[in-house]
Amino acid sequence: MLDIKFIRDNLDDVKNSLNKKGYVFDDIEFSKLDERRKGAMTQAQSLQAEKKKASKQIGALIGQGMSPEEAKAQVMSSIDADLSKAEQDAKDAEQALQELLMTIPNVPMAEVPVGKDEDDNVEVLKWGTPAEYTFEPKDHVDLGAPFGLNFDAGALVAGSRFAVMSGPIARLHRAITQFMLNTHIDEHGYEETYVPYLVNRQALEGTGQLPKFEEDLFKIPQAQGEKDLYLIPTAEVPVTNLLRDAVNDTQLPVKKVAHTPCFRSEAGSYGRDTRGMIRQHQFDKVELVQFVRAGDSEAALEELTGHAEAILQKLELPYRKVILCGGDLGFSAAKTYDLEVWLPGQQKYREISSCSTFGDYQARRMQARWRNPETGKPELLHTLNGSGLAVGRTLVAVLENYQEADGSIRIPAALKPYMGGLDRLRAAQ
Half-sphere exposure in the Cβ direction for 411 (13 Å, CA): 22
- Cβ–Cβ under 8 Å, residues 411 and 402: yes
Q: Is residue 203 part of a domain?
A: yes
Closest by CA to 124, choosing from 110, 113, 109, is: 113
354 labeled part of a ligand binding site: yes
Q: Is residue 248 part of a domain?
A: yes
Rounded to the nearest 5°, which phi and psi values hold at 161?
65, 35
For position 429, what pLDDT does the model report?
43
Answer yes or no: do 81 and 221 share one domain: no
351 labeled part of a ligand binding site: yes
234 labeled part of a ligand binding site: yes
387 labeled part of a ligand binding site: yes
Closest by CA to 355, choosing from 319, 385, 330, 333, is: 385
236 labeled part of a ligand binding site: yes
For 310, residues 6+ apart whose C-beta sits below 8 A from its C-beta are: 183, 187, 188
Domain that holds residue 193: 118-425
Sign of CA dihedral 266, 219, 385, 257: negative
379 labeled part of a ligand binding site: no
Domain finish residue from 47, 73, 103: 103
265 labeled part of a ligand binding site: yes
d(CA 176, CA 399) in angstroms, rounded, equals: 12
193 labeled part of a ligand binding site: no
352 labeled part of a ligand binding site: yes
In CATH, what number is assigned to the domain containing residue 310? 3.30.930.10
Beta bridge partners of 149: 165
Answer yes or no: do 63 and 139 share one domain: no
Q: Is residue 1 part of a domain?
A: no
Q: Within the chain, which residues score under 50 in pLDDT? A: 429
d(CA 209, CA 424) in angstroms, rounded, equals: 41
For position 74, what pLDDT does the model report?
67
The dihedral region occupied by 193, where left means phi > 0, alpha psi between -120 and 50, and beta the remainder, is beta
17 labeled part of a ligand binding site: no
Answer yes or no: do 34 and 136 share one domain: no
Q: Is residue 160 part of a domain?
A: yes
pLDDT tens digit sequence for 281-334:
999 999 999 999 999 999 999 999 999 999 999 999 999 999 999 999 999 999
Answer yes or no: do 253 and 226 share one domain: yes
d(CA 147, CA 213) in angstroms, rounded, equals: 36
Strand bridging mode 198-200 / 219-220 = unpaired
Answer yes or no: do 404 and 307 share one domain: yes
Q: Is residue 8 part of a domain?
A: no
Answer yes or no: do 59 and 145 share one domain: no
Q: Could you give the number of structural domains in the chain?
A: 2
- Cβ–Cβ under 8 Å, residues 331 and 365: no
Answer yes or no: do 96 and 130 share one domain: no
Answer yes or no: do 144 and 48 share one domain: no
Closest by CA to 195, choosing from 263, 282, 261, is: 261
Closest by CA to 388, choosing from 198, 183, 217, is: 183
For 195, residues 6+ apart whose C-beta sits below 8 A from its C-beta are: 232, 235, 238, 239, 242, 258, 260
- Cβ–Cβ under 8 Å, residues 72 and 62: no
78 labeled part of a ligand binding site: no
